[in-house]
Amino acid sequence: MTFRKYLVLAGVTVFAAAGDSMLSHGMKQTGSISIQHLQSVILAVLNPWVAVGIVLLLAFFASYMNALSWADLTYVLPATSLGYVLLALVAKFALHEQISLMRWLGIVLISGGVGFVAGGEALTSHGHQGGSPLAKRGNDGASEADMASVISSGVER
Amino acid sequence: MKHLYTWGGILVVVFFSVVGDILIARAMKQVGDVHALWERSGLWTVVGRVLSNPNFFLGVGAMAAAFFSLLFSLSWGDVSLVAPAAASLTFIANAFAAKIFLHEKVDRRRWIAALLVAAGVALLAG
């Protein structure tokens, strides 16, 4: 794990938490949506909170995809669930909301789960399939030259 | 009747979320390590590889379906039930799906992590 990879995981966490909270704030202003009034979906997108929330969720998606390119899904999901803890702490210290004992317990459980997964390796899927990443890449139809450059970049590192 | 709608909605959200996560994860494994690819051949190669991957588009479609089914479910059921129940169940369903479809080595460490996080998410909304 390099510093840049930790930065990507932090990006997934922060963008998801910020995007979700802005979206939920905006949706509370626009009210509920039903099948009978589909045009209300378009109105919801025009709300500035919803719009900024969507932009942040796009940033989340880019860093999420980045993380999934070098780590397992079962590693990325728990590692980035700290966003829930982040939201609770923002609610406590920025919005001065009361946090119940149950919520503190939830924060402890999530943090414990993150600690568990962070101690293990990030990528297991290739080894488990019995083939190297290169062999897998070859099956997906990448060119020989491409594979050669993968090998050489591997050697450089 | 309202309960049935709410839990039906939650299950639909979980289903589309898991399908989306699995497809995106598979697409990005096929694209390969984005950092290495970017340094070697530039950003546009990365973008091109992602945009030429059919799993990526299927995954985005599934995630969009999850997003809109969540919006509908939220208008039917309580936010304090729908959002955490969907998030919590998605964590556990994803661990099963990643083991089956992505052949990830979901060892005891990762099961415990998935269960702790799922329980924690459920408690946070309580």
Query: For chain A, what is the largest distance between any 2 Cα atoms, rounded to a whole number of angstroms?
Result: 60
Q: Minimal CA–CA distance to B96: which of B82, B85, B106?
A: B106
Is the CB of residue A81 less than 8 Å from the CB of residue B90? no
Q: Is the pLDDT reported for residue B116 higher than 80?
A: yes
A143 plus A69 within the same structural domain:
no
Please provide the distance, in angstroms rounded to a whole number, between the alpha carbons at the two ends of chain A: 13
Mark yes or no for CB contact B75/A136 under 8 Å: no
- Chain B segment 29-88 residues within 8 A of A by beta carbon are 29-36, 39-41, 50, 71-72, 74-75, 79
Mark yes or no for CB contact A68/B24 under 8 Å: yes
A85 plus A133 within the same structural domain:
no
Question: Considering only CB atoms, which chain A residues are within 8 Å of B106?
Answer: 74
pTM exceeds 0.90 for this model: no
A50 plus A97 within the same structural domain:
yes
Question: Considering only CB atoms, which chain A residues are within 8 Å of B98?
Answer: 72-74
Using CA atoms, how far residue A138 sits from A18, A54, B27, B50, in Å, is 39, 36, 15, 17
In chain A, the number of structural domains is: 2
Using CA atoms, how far residue A73 sits from A26, A56, A147, in Å, is 30, 21, 24
- Residue B24 is which amino acid? I
Is the CB of residue B88 less than 8 Å from the CB of residue B16? no
A42 plus A113 within the same structural domain:
yes
A45 plus A72 within the same structural domain:
yes
Q: Is the pLDDT reported for residue B88 higher than 80?
A: yes
A37 plus A59 within the same structural domain:
yes
Mark yes or no for CB contact B117/A109 under 8 Å: yes
B41-46 mean pLDDT: 90
A32 plus A64 within the same structural domain:
yes
Residue B74: band (very low, low, confident or very high) from pLDDT cuts 50, 70, 90: confident
B14-42 mean pLDDT: 93
Picking from A30, A34, A74, A107 by the largest number of B CB atoms within 10 A of its own CB, the best residue to mutate is A74
A120 — phi, psi (to 5°)? Answer: -90, -175
pLDDT at A143: 42
A89 plus A75 within the same structural domain:
yes
- Collapsed DSSP state (helix, strand, coil) of residue B104: coil
pLDDT at A144: 41
A10 plus A80 within the same structural domain:
yes
Q: Minimal CA–CA distance to A73: which of B16, B29, B58?
A: B29
Domain residues of chain B, as ranges? 2-124
Q: Minimal CA–CA distance to B25: which of B94, B90, B106?
A: B94
Element (H, E) at A100: none
A9 plus A86 within the same structural domain:
yes
Show the domain range for A152.
124-157
Low-confidence ranges of chain A (pLDDT < 70): 31-38, 125-157
A119 plus A129 within the same structural domain:
no
Q: Which residue of chain B has the CA closest to A136? A: B30
Nearest to A34 among B25, B75, B123 (CB): B75
Mark yes or no for CB contact A65/B50 under 8 Å: yes
